[in-house]
Structure formats: C-alpha cells, structure tokens
Amino acid sequence: MADAAAPSVATLEGRGGGERTPPAPTPARGALVRMLWYRQLDRYPDTGPRIGYLAIVVAATIMLYYQLYVGGAVAPQILAHYGMSFRFYVDITVVANAVGAFSSVIAGLADRWGRANMVAYGLGITALLVLFGIPNAPNSWAFATIVVAVGFVEGIVLVATPALVRDFSPQLGRASAMGFWTLGPVVGSLIVSVVASNTLSHLVAWQDQFIICGIVGVAVFVVALFGLRELSPGLRDQLMVSMRDRALIEARAKGIDIGESLRHPWRQMLRLDIVLSALAVSVFLIIYYTAVGFNPIYFETIFGFSPSQANALGNWLWAFDALALVVVGVLSDWLKVRKPFMVVGAIGAVVMTIIYLGKATAPHTTYYEFVLILTLLAVFLGIAYAPWMASFTETVERRNPALTATGLAVWGWILRIVVAVSIFILPFVVSSTTPLVTYGAKAKALAAEYAPQLTTASQVDPTTLAALAANPGNAAAGAKAVGEIVAAAHVTPTEAISRLVALAKVPKADIAFLQAHGAAVQNAAKETPGQWQNWYWVCVAGELVFLPLIFFMAGRWSPAAARRDLREHEEEVQAELAKLGTA
C-alpha cells in the first residue's frame, strides 16, 4: 500500500482550485451503439461485475501477448523460410519495440478518451493481422511490416489494460489485481510454449502457429467488444484505497472538475520517482524479454534441443512465473507492503540468473536441470514483478490519480525503449549466432547422415579430392587417395576403395553446402556459448540496478506502519462523508 495510503482525502477533490462543473448528461443513443462504443459506467460496479470486467481485461492482455510472442516459438523456422539473417530478425524486434514505445505515449490519451475502446478494437486489429497478414506475408519485408504493426497496437494496450485494472481495483487489492494482469505477458508466453510444444511435431508449417493464434484472438476480441466497460472520468480520476471509499468517490464524482485535474499531464508525470521506477523494472526485465524472444533459438542451437523440447522448457518457466505472480500478489495485499517482496525477488533473480548463465558453456546440461533452474528463476521474477506493478500505480496516484494512464504511458515508453536498445545490442554481444541459426540444423543433419564419408574425406589430401571431383576416372589421384586412406585408417586397400566409392556417392550439393558453411558453423558452435554467457551478465546487471531504485517508490516497508496508514485513511474518509451528509 502507498505511504499513508498515499495522499490525504483532500486529494480526492481533484487538482486545482477551479470551480467544479457537474458532468454533462449522457445523451440517449441506440443500445447497440452504446454497447460497441460508449462504454462508461456512471456508478462503481458491484463485486461480481467488477471481477467480470477485470477478467475480460486479463483475457485481452493474455491474448495480445500471445499474438506478440508467438513468433519466438518458431523463430528458427521463420529465419529459414525467408532466408533472414539473425541480425535482420533481431532488427524487426527492435523496430517493433521502438514503435511500441511511441504508441505507449499515444495511449496516455486514455486519461481523456478512455481505455476500453483502445483495448477492444486494438485486439481486433492484431487478431486480423496475425490470422491473415503474417501467414501470407510474401517476403521478409512484408513479414517485418506486419510484426511492427502488431507492436504498435501492443504499445497502446500495454498502457490501457493496467489502467483499467487500476480503475477497478482499490489499493488494498491492487497487488492481487496486478498479479492477475501480469498474467497477460506470462500466460501469453505460456500459451505460445504449450501450443508449440504440442503441435510442432505434426504441424510442420510455422504459419500454423499464427493461424491458431489468430483464430483464438478473434474469439477474445468478440468477448471484449460486447463485454468490456470502464469507469466514467469522475469515478476513475480519484484515489480509492479500499471498497469502503466507494460512497465517497461516487459523491465526489458528481462535482469533480475533470478538466482541471488533467492539465499539463506530462509535466505532472515526468517526475523522478515515476521515471526511475519505470527504468528500474525495464532493466530488470531484460532477462524476461530475452527468454521470450530467444530461448528457442538458444536451446536449439547451443544444446541441440528439438523445437518441441525448446518450447516445452517455456511451459515450466511461464507456468511457475504465473503461479508466483498470483500468490505473491495476494500475500502482498494481505501484508499491505510491496517493497520487501521486490527485494527478495530481485536478489533471488540475480542468484538464479548467475547459475543459469553458468550452464551456457556446459553443453551436456540436461533438460530437467534447466527445468529446475528456470522454474526457480521464474518464481523470483514473479515475486518482484506483481508487487512492483501495484507499487508503481500507487506511485503515480501519489502524484495525481486522474493521470494514471499518463503515468503508465511513461512506464510503457521507457520499457519499450529499454527493450529495443537491449535487443539491438544483443547481436553485437552474441555475434556468432547467425551461422548456427541459418545453417546449423542442416549442417548437423548432413554431418550425421554422412559421418563415415566425411571421416574418409578428412583422411585424403584436399588436392587429391579436388582432382577426383574434377575427373573421377583419374587413376593416379584414385591410387593416391586409396593409399592415404589405408595409412590413416589402417584398413585394407579393398576397404579403402569401398570407402572412396561411398564418398563419391554423396550429392555434390551437400558437399558444397558443407564446404561453404561447415567451418563457420563449427566456429560458431565454439564461440556462441561464451557470448550468450556475456549477455546474461548484462541481464544480471539490470537486476542489480533494480534494487536501489525500489526506494523511490510509494509504499511502506513495515506491515504495521501500513496498517496504521490504513486506519488513518479510513478515519479521514468517514469525516469527509460526514461533511457531505452521506455517512
């Protein structure tokens, strides 16, 4: 909970000293138009409907992140299909995040225009792009353009959905509500992993993953279109600490000066506590966005896991992360503190990330060793993140509760910029990945298929091999090759001839491929694990930066102090209700 439940009750009167103006009456409109566009509620909803609206917001968030992250599950196949370099693929992600950063700023207008339509119609746009656009993209540039468009919409919804969650959840239940909201990116990642790990073995085409995602997206869009609502400005622009504040908020909503409270929104929100808090969690989450975008590539290229196995590791990671988010959110609300959880989560994440990066240069690490490491890492990430989300909205409310979406827009902009910059840097740190991603799978398959023949080729002088390739009937070159095989392998001349004949039967295209890319793949296999290890040290640095910046955020360290703040706030509420004659 925010310090002293944040501001005194006086802040509920709105900002500025201008005369309050009553809200204009809602014009009569057709029922369908009201349902599809005019979504405002003039009274704070009861518990049942409120939970229903929150559920739709969470479902919409999960769906959007499913759409955003589905490409990571089949990244190696996408690169192979379009002939993309790893650098080009990463640049698509960089641009999508950069565009999302600036669309997050646009979403700050949700304080004036509302949130629900942004979420509902944004979800419909992305569903159609994923269902029809990406699977039918004719080339890498068309694919990139559509992915960036999805990123643009995601940046808007990134701000609008937590703003809705904040509107419908008092501070005393904020961590639980934000725990469920943060299920959006985590469960979105989990769905990607579950679907991919269970379908990639028989749905070979990578496009199928997007088609499945798009169909589900259309269904969730329909639910949001007809079911999602939001509070009117007079209700949402106030601070609500507990459900006991409902009567006071509704009374004040009849006279609050909305325009005055929304003046100079960016000047009010670009404050040190808000900016540094947003920066803290952005660098903390570098490890998360690395996992989302590159874990399948990492596990397939470094450890030789199949696409299904690589995605199945995500099942464990995201499932435990989701569980931690919900459980810790409830505990944080029960104890009424956020910061201790953030500290424990950050320290645990640092320890587990260091253990994890140590395995990068241990190629024989087993699948279940990674399961244990990733699940513990996921739990600590969840312990830190759900309380952080609650504390951040309370930090924004400490400045002005009427500008929640603007404050979240600051966070969204900083988060997307940090992600874009970090992903842009990643290929410079992990510089040898492209040969492994582009040619590694085929080179490995050919090496396994022609292992005896490649051994034979290594025993013959390259000049001799070239002479035989140019003229298979060259008797002198053939005799020399047989002699070299006999000497190297200690076999009879007859066996040497048999091996030479087998070598000659290998298709020339396969030999050319191995000659062109085999050495690069071998060098990359040696260098890339250490480079990934360096990158994960960058992630550790981000987690360490998170720790001291916790002190800038709203909230008590002690449950006893938080309970004292709550008692004082409730006394103020009762006094204010008595003044209004509604107690």
Backbone φ and ψ of 464, nearest 5°: -65, -45
**pLDDT score of 248:** 42
The average confidence (pLDDT) of the chain is 81
**pLDDT score of 144:** 94
Q: Name beta bridge partners: 279.
A: none
Give the angle subtended at the CA of 382 by the CAs of 106 and 306, to the nearest 5°.
Answer: 95
Domains of the chain: 3-13+33-441+523-580 (1.20.1250.20)
- Identify the H or E element spanning 71: helix 47-73
Q: Distances in Å between the alpha carbon of 521 and those of 12, 35, 301, 487? A: 64, 57, 10, 29
109 or 156, which is more confident = 156
Q: How far apart are the C-alpha atoms of 297 and 86, rounded to whole Å? A: 10
Q: Distances in Å between the alpha carbon of 231 and those of 121, 166, 419? A: 18, 11, 32
578 or 49, which is more confident = 49
Instruction: Please say whether the beta carbons of 442 and 513 come within 8 A.
Output: yes
103 or 288, which is more confident = 288
pLDDT tens profile 204-257 = 788 999 999 999 999 999 998 888 887 666 555 544 444 444 444 544 544 545
Instruction: Provide the 8-state DSSP code for 285.
Output: T
Which SS3 state, helix, strand or coil, does residue 361 take?
A: helix
**pLDDT score of 48:** 80
Q: Name the least confident of 254-268, 315-329, 331-345.
A: 254-268
Q: How far apart are the C-alpha atoms of 374 and 270, rounded to whole Å? A: 36
Residue 121 scores a pLDDT above 70: yes
Q: Name beta bridge partners: 231.
A: 41
DSSP-derived secondary structure for 317-346 = HHHHHHHHHHHHHHHHHHHT--HHHHHHHH
For residue 505, how many other CB atoms are within 10 A of its CB? 8
Q: How far apart are the C-alpha atoms of 405 and 167, rounded to whole Å? A: 10
Q: How far apart are the C-alpha atoms of 104 and 100, rounded to whole Å? A: 6
**Considering only CA atoms, which of 264, 362, 363, 351 is closest in space to residue 539?**
351
**pLDDT score of 242:** 41
Q: Distances in Å between the alpha carbon of 147 and those of 68, 80, 144, 313, 443? A: 8, 17, 5, 25, 29
Instruction: Please say whether the beta carbons of 549 and 281 come within 8 A.
Output: no
Residue 440 scores a pLDDT above 50: yes
Whether the CA torsion 31, 36, 38, 39 is positive or negative: it is: positive
pLDDT tens profile 142-196 = 999 999 999 888 888 777 787 777 766 654 445 566 666 777 778 888 888 888 8
